[in-house]
Amino acid sequence: MSIRDEILQANEDYAAGFGAKGDLALPPARHFAILTCMDARLDPAKYAGLSEGDAHVIRNAGGRASDDAIRSLVISYKLLGTREWFVIHHSNCGMEFFTDEVIRGLLASSLETAELGPDGFQDVGTTPGSTEAKYIDWLTIADNAQSVVEDVARIRAHPLVPGRIPIFGYIYDVTSGRLIEVTEATKAGVPI
């Protein structure tokens, strides 16, 4: 069963009240970008007080500083003028529940959705899998705070990132809605 009809109806309702939003400028009005996780429990517009047009929000599994996330951040400042960046991971992240080896094994077994049980993810599929997963760095998380530090440091050290951009590191607490600063990450992101 698809959710398509609900999505299209929601879009009709949204478009009916769209008003002057079509006049928003291309660059983000508040000149900053957030790199965060794709987890459905995170709503960056709410936890960061954003309105449409305020900021760039880049999302991926874990909110990690992958090559593609850095590509987006570079476009964000170089072409659209962002001046500050936030790396925001979160508590209870699914990327903490497996390793590269685990997901590679699951995908080699089958391409069907795995189940999370008390002992971790288990493959329940019956269709063939693929060994192509061995060529992907899944950027799993062993230590949440340390991963924020690593991501901020990776962005800071990237040759396409100017030293003048401050990069802040936080963990969003999914049980309280609070942003908790990872001090070591923010220190790593201080402008140079």
The pLDDT, as a whole number, for residue 76 is 98
For the 27-98+140-188 domain, the top CATH level (class) is alpha beta
Domain map (residue ranges) of the chain = 27-98+140-188
Closest CA to 90 of 163, 24, 34, 155: 34
Helix pair 67-78, 144-157: axis angle to 10 deg: 50
Sign of the dihedral defined by the CA atoms of residues 174, 175, 180, 184, in that order: negative
- At residue 84, the 3 state secondary structure works out as strand
Please list the pLDDT of the chain residue by residue as tens digits (192 residues): 799 999 999 999 999 999 999 999 999 999 999 999 999 999 999 999 999 999 999 999 999 999 999 999 999 999 999 999 999 999 999 999 999 999 999 999 999 999 988 988 999 999 999 999 999 999 999 999 999 999 999 999 999 999 999 999 999 999 999 999 999 999 999 999
Enumerate the β-bridge partners of residue 88.
36, 170
Q: Are 170 and 86 in contact (CB under 8 A)?
A: yes
The pLDDT, as a whole number, for residue 1 is 73
